Structure 1
């Protein structure tokens, strides 16, 4: 997947992760987009580097959603600990 494709998928994944993750996270569209992009990059290139899937497989999209949800949970925990 090209970098531009990963960015677009990351935006979609960020929105999807926010929808799937329960709770009230007070994040704007910018942080949601960054979260999705980070999850997409980590899952796409990390999974390919570990030879879990090849470029263009559906597992990359699913991995990106899971990666973004994990990042959402971690950010929520960090925010709660900082209060």
Structure 2
């Protein structure tokens, strides 16, 4: 149960930071922001984890960058 709550809170923080650092306005609600952050974390985890499961600040930065990439892909596909 704590893992789910941690993923939601972490996803919200990563999503908010990604929306802040993305150039231009990103209109989305709280649920979409949480999903963006969780998705960005998953993308970054797939690319950078290499079997490590510990918390690293570089992983947080990679999660934000992964969420920014998801925003960009959504814009390119005409979703957002």
TM-score, length of structure 1 as denominator length: 0.74
Number of the residue aligned with 2:22: 21
Between 1:19-28 and 1:9-18, the stretch displaced more is 19-28
8 Å CA contact retained: 2:11, 2:33: no
Q: CA deviation at 1:45?
A: 4.8
CA RMSD of aligned residues (A): 2.2
Listed as ranges, the gaps of 5+ residues in structure 1 are none
8 Å CA contact retained: 1:7, 1:37: yes
Q: Secondary structure at the match of 2:24?
A: coil
8 Å CA contact retained: 2:45, 2:63: yes
Number of the residue aligned with 2:34: 33
Change (3 A) 1:70 1:42: same
Task: Tell me the matched-pair count.
Answer: 77
Please list, as runs of the form range in 1=range in 2, the aligned pairs for 1:1-83 lying within 5 A after superposition.
Answer: 3-4=3-4, 5-48=6-49, 50-51=50-51, 55-79=54-78
